[in-house]
Structures are given as structure tokens and as C-alpha cells.
Structure 1
Amino acid sequence: MRGAFSTNKTMGEAPEMFYVNGFAKVVPEVQPNHVNNVDDSSTWYEEIIDDDLKWSFKLNSVLHKAISEYQDIALLDTKRFGKALMLDGKMQSSEADEFIYHECLIHPSLLCHSNPKTVFIMGGGEGSAAREALKHKSMEKVVMCDIDKEVVDFCRKYLVANKEAFADKKLDLVINCAKAELEKRKEKFDIIVGDLADPLEDGPCYQLYTKSFYEKVVKPKLTENGIFVTQAGPAGIFSHKEVFTSIHNTIKQVFKYVVAYGTHVPSFADSWGWVMASDQPILIDAVEMDKRIEERIKGKLLYLDGAWFHSSTIMNKAVSKSLKNETHVYTEDNARFIPGHGIACRP
């Protein structure tokens, strides 16, 4: 459990590592037939991917650590991925490759919509989802609603790439529960985005993946041809059954047209999945998508184009079969979780 002090020393040549709150201090040992640098001691952050799988990030520094009312927060300066935001021990985004995740999250739905003017982002505290939405010339208003003010505040301070987005007059930044905020607002939105933390047991977000939430809160707040899109967790060959197939199946119970897509995100150590849905036909062809990218978006996209997006909707045989055969539907009393726990599990 994160927060406990432990030591772990493996046999043979492996270095001794001391862990505190997910952080590991490597103490190098002199190894025969190896050149050892006595100044090679480094700090690492260890992320638990599953009960039997971990991986580590070598750090330049720790910029911020805190436990807010809702989650365990760390902002790291990593050697491989640059600044990285961790929530409840899980990688949320990193400077080096966050463009992959956020382009995939935001642009397909906006490009498939005929004329998107308003967006509501659930979560998205680091500002990257809002940044991508604001690239669309047609955009009139982006509401970014995150429950955790502490996350938003230190991302505004440290993530300079999103400085312009946070200052944009079209951005309406709200600190609130996304469910409560959507329920109280009278207007409807062309696009609603779920940029939420993964469904973790005892975490703050799993109830925002349920059938009742999609049916009673999200869908009524979409315009007639509105589109809903959400991040849907790991979608790799070994991980897609954790939550991806279930989120997809749950959304299928609420919307008429549903599209799942995915791609590899290096800092997540896995392929990642998204689900896009509407009661109107969604997909446009690759040529039209490229045309809309050229006409609608300020600046250049780094990852997404029409041909790639269409390829991303084609899953391998195993994942396709799982998506087709999934029967689980998210409810408040019958949820699935990815490995790990939120801070509510702590004594």
C-alpha cells in the first residue's frame, strides 16, 4: 500500500532500493566487471501497473507531492517523459507524449461534429484537454470542471504548455463535481468529454462511469447531434478486460451509435482506449477528416489524421471479440476497477 515504508533488496547484482510513497532511492553496489560511478545514485518513482507488475521512472526532481481531499497527487520531473502528473499513483499525463492522449481524446469527436461550438470537460485539471479543444476555430465556450482545486492550481503553476489555454477568455474553469455541475447547468453542449481519472476502488471517479450517469446526466445535456467521448482505460492485449470493454458496453446501453478506438501511449506502458458515442451517426471518412483538420484547427496536430483515426477503430482479434462479448454494465453497486486504490482506502 502506498504510504507505507518498506525495503526491498533482491539477490545478486540488483541495487538496494528504499521505497517511500512510491518513490525509490537507488543505492548502487560495486559490481565486478562493471564500471560503477559512485555518483550514479538516483531517485525513481515506482508505479504499480498490476498486482504482479511495476515499472519505474527515473527522476530529475519531485516538483510537488500532496494528498488532497480527493486523491494522492505527485508532479514529477522525469528524465524520460519530462514533467508528469500522477494521481493515486497512476500516470495521468507527461510532457513527452501527452499530445497522443489529448489529441485522441478531443479531436475525433469535434471533427466528427458538424459545427462544434461548446464543450464540457469533466476533469482535465492539467488543462491539456481544454488546450486542444480551444484549437478549433468554431469554439465559443469550453467549460473545464475539475473537482480538485489543488491539482488545477499546481498544473497552472508548473505546466507552461497550457498557460495560454488557462488564460483564454473562452475557457470557463469550474472547481466542482462534474455530475453536480452538469445537473445544475441549463445549457446543453455539442461535446461532453470524460477526461476523468481511471475507475479506482475508493477513488473519486468510478460513479461517473455508470449507466445511470450517462443516461440521466450526460445524455440530457447534449445537443440534438451532440457527441460524448470518454477515456476508457487500458486497452492492451492483457489489460482491455479490466475496464475498457465494460465502459464500452455500458455506453452502448445508452447511445445508439458507439465507436471504440485506441492507441499506444508510451508513458502509460500500454495501449489506451477511448469510447465516442451519439444518437446520430458519428463517423466521417478519412478524406473528410483531413479536410476538416486543415480548415478548422489552428496550428498542426502532431499525431492524429484521418487515416490513422480510422485504423485506430480496428481492434485486434482478441480485443474485438472481448468488446463484442462483454455483458457487464457499470452501476453504482456493480463496478469494475483497475488495479490500485484511491486514498479512501487508507486507515
Structure 2
Amino acid sequence: MGEAVEIFYPNGFCNGTGKNQPVDETHHQFDSWYEETIDEDLKWSFALKSVLYKGASEYQDIALLDTKRFGKVLVIDGKMQSAEVDEFIYHECLIHPALLFHSNPKTMFIMGGGEGSAAREALRHRSIDEVVMCDIDEEVVNFCRRYLTVNRDAFCNKKLNLVINDAKAEMEKRDEKFDIIVGDLADPVEGGPCYQLYTKSFYEKILKPKLNENGIFVTQAGPAGIFTHKEVFSSIYNTIRQVFKYVLAYTAHVPSFADTWGWVIASDQPFSIGAEEIDKRIAERVDGELLYLNGSSFLSSATMNKTVYLSLLNETHVYTEENARFIPGHGLGNHL
């Protein structure tokens, strides 16, 4: 018989105390697994080297894990947010298209993004003068600054303005407008802190008025696989389509998410540049080499398969505070 392994489930850790538990610097290794619910009848598990941190902030359940396959991973409210070995796919897709489609981006407002990876990618663009990163959860930001060393330079960059606040409240009180606004928010899970920032009223009344003329909005939009795209992706797309004239959905496979992921980009100006111009702008504007994105791959990523295309075309649901959709997972509000 094989050795027994410890299974952490569901979307969390068994035998927990409920208290925040940073692990000591020796990072003791042990044979254990983390398990995440993808759907009611489907789970995804991966082997751990160690647990670097687990606990709950005022807003969210948090875990920072060191995994054997994906390196360090950030898990919030039971959902994988980012993995060390492939986070570049997610963050390049989130950040660079909007900056490349804009003629001369100077300012960006990031809603969420507490781990710092979105800001890191944005600060690679030479034209950028200021990135405001607004995350509600100071505890997430602090332990990501400590443990995710790849983003250390971004957190120290003078162009980064880090704000700890609710993104909606922060945006409402600010007078300035931005060239790019980014939604790097946690997935909409029931009881979580973020689903209100996916609603039509928020996009229409608060977010869009904070964009400069020719401004661009982009957001992560959840799972976009053949079996998962109706959870929230099609609904987020349709909601944004009620607010902006030009809306484009695009997707990429992220191995650590065990699925295809979706983003939605929107503006009142058309997205009219081709692959060659995208590649030219990458060469002229971006410091260093991108690992995933180029002009051809982006245009390909905006071509949906027939099933997803028809779902986007025929989707009728619009996010409101009273009528939201959620993906499997849990928020801290469910524990109260």
C-alpha cells in the first residue's frame, strides 16, 4: 500500500483553525494535495511542497501554496488566482492588448491586482506615466509583496501608486480620468467582495465616465472553456456590450487553471489594428520580450469556436446587484 496523503478539501484546508497561519521560513516539506472544485461534479487537485500562508483577511479566504507542478500559487476564496510558472499568460493577455490598441497610453487604473503582476506588465510600457493599483485587501498585497519576488521591482517603481481601498469608492472620489482601466478582480463568487464590480450600473455610471476620450476598459472574465463559458464569461461580455460601442472577447488556455480563460476589452472607438501593427508596437513600446502574446496570437485568441461564439451572440443575461451569476467557490460572506 502507498503512503497516505493529506487531502485539503473542498476549496480549502481540512482541520483548519480559522486563524491566519504564516508558515515559518524553513518551509517544511510534506506530502499533501490541494483540491479545488471546478464544477459540482469535477475537481482539480495538485501536489504541494508546502503551505506558505493560509488564513482569512477581513474580505477573503487566502492561501499561498508552493506546488510541485506550478510553483507558488495564490488561492483566494477557494479559486486559483495565479501560478508562478504560467501567470505570464494571464497577465500578458490582460494588460498588453489594451495598451497596444491605445494610440498613446499614459495612465492606467487597475481594480484589484494585489499580487502586483498586472502592474508589472503595465510598467513595461515606456509611454506609461502612472499606474494606480487599487486593491481592497491590504493583507493580500502585503504577503504578495513578501513572497512573490518576481514583482518586487514593480512594487518599488515610482510610477506605481498603490491604494488600499474599495475600487468602486476610490474611482468615485477621484477627479482624474484614465487612458486604460483594468479589472484584475477575483472571480464573481457568491459572498465574495467583487461581483458588484461586474454589474452594468457600475460600468455605466462609475467606470466609463472615468475613461479619457478614446479610453479602453479591459477585464478578466472568468472560465471560457467549451463547458464553462456560460458560468460568467458570456454574461460579463453581454453586460459590457450594453455599455460600450465596441466590445471584443478573447481567450487563452492557462494550464494551472485547468481551463481556457476569457477576457473582454471595450471602448467607444474601434479596435482596428492588425497583427503586423501589434508586433510593431510591441517592439517600439515594451521593455523586454513578451513570452506569450504577439499580433497573430492575439487575433487568433479573439476567434471563438462555434459553440462559444453562439453563446456570446445569444446571451441575454445582464449583471445587476440583484441578478448576478457566480462560479463554483465561496466567499467569506458565506461564513458569516
Q: What are the superposed Cα offsets for residues 39-79 of structure 1, whole Å, 9 maximum, x if unpaired?
A: x9711111111111111121111111110010000000111
Counterpart check, 1:147 vs 2:136: yes
Q: How big is the shift at 1:17?
A: 4.7
Q: How big is the shift at 1:16?
A: 6.4
Partner amino acid, structure 2, of 1:281: P
Counterpart check, 1:292 vs 2:284: no
Give matches, 1:5-16, under 5 Å. none
Partners in 2 of 1:276 and 1:58 — Cα distance? 35
- The higher-RCO structure (CA 8 Å, 6+ apart) is 2
Partner amino acid, structure 2, of 1:182: M
Task: Give the structure 1 partner of residue 86 of structure 2.
Answer: 97
Runs of 5+ unmatched residues, structure 1: 1-11, 26-39
RMSD (Å), alpha carbons: 1.7
Counterpart check, 1:75 vs 2:68: no
Partners in 2 of 1:140 and 1:108 — Cα distance? 18
Task: Give the structure 1 partner of residue 271 of structure 2.
Answer: 282
1:121 to 110, 119, 139: 110
**Counterpart of 1:131 in 2: which secondary structure?**
helix
Counterpart check, 1:308 vs 2:289: no
Counterpart check, 1:203 vs 2:192: yes
Task: Give the structure 2 partner of residue 181 of structure 1.
Answer: 170
Partner amino acid, structure 2, of 1:89: G
Q: What are the superposed Cα offsets for residues 260-315 of structure 1, whole Å, 9 maximum, x if unpaired?
A: 00010000000000000001112410000000000000011000000000000000
Q: Would you say the 8 A contact 1:23–1:44 is kept in 2?
A: no
Partner amino acid, structure 2, of 1:163: R
Q: Would you say the 8 A contact 2:130–2:161 is kept in 1?
A: yes
Task: Give the structure 2 partner of residue 217 of structure 1.
Answer: 206
Partners in 1 of 2:46 and 2:30 — Cα distance? 14
Q: What are the superposed Cα offsets for residues 128-173 of structure 1, whole Å, 9 maximum, x if unpaired?
A: 0000000000000000000000000000000000000000000000
**Counterpart of 1:126 in 2: which secondary structure?**
coil
Q: Would you say the 8 A contact 1:261–1:275 is kept in 2?
A: yes
Q: What are the superposed Cα offsets for residues 178-237 of structure 1, whole Å, 9 maximum, x if unpaired?
A: 000001110000000000000001100000000000001110000000000000000000
1:54 to 38, 43, 51: 43
Task: Give the structure 2 partner of residue 167 of structure 1.
Answer: 156
Task: Give the structure 2 partner of residue 63 of structure 1.
Answer: 52
Partner amino acid, structure 1, of 2:297: W
Partners in 2 of 1:334 and 1:120 — Cα distance? 27
Q: Would you say the 8 A contact 1:105–1:229 is kept in 2?
A: yes
1:255 to 220, 231, 244: 244
Partners in 2 of 1:173 and 1:163 — Cα distance? 13
Partner amino acid, structure 1, of 2:148: L
Partner amino acid, structure 1, of 2:122: A
Counterpart check, 1:85 vs 2:102: no
Task: Give the structure 1 partner of residue 334 of structure 2.
Answer: 345
Runs of 5+ unmatched residues, structure 2: 16-28
Q: Would you say the 8 A contact 2:5–2:32 is kept in 1?
A: no
Partner amino acid, structure 2, of 1:332: E
Partners in 2 of 1:41 and 1:168 — Cα distance? 37
Partners in 2 of 1:323 and 1:55 — Cα distance? 27
Partners in 1 of 2:142 and 2:30 — Cα distance? 32
Partners in 1 of 2:103 and 2:263 — Cα distance? 20
**Counterpart of 2:82 in 1: which secondary structure?**
strand
**Counterpart of 1:103 in 2: which secondary structure?**
helix
**Counterpart of 1:129 in 2: which secondary structure?**
helix
Q: How big is the shift at 1:19?
A: 3.8
Task: Give the structure 2 partner of residue 35 of structure 1.
Answer: none
Residues 41 and 84 (structure 1 numbering): CA distance in 2 closer, same or farther, change over 3 Å? Answer: closer
Partners in 1 of 2:110 and 2:8 — Cα distance? 35
Partner amino acid, structure 1, of 2:255: P
Task: Give the structure 2 partner of residue 269 of structure 1.
Answer: 258
Q: Would you say the 8 A contact 1:211–1:251 is kept in 2?
A: yes
Q: How big is the shift at 1:24?
A: 7.0
Normalised TM-score (structure 1): 0.90
Counterpart check, 1:193 vs 2:182: yes
Greater than 6 Å deviation, 4+ residue runs: none
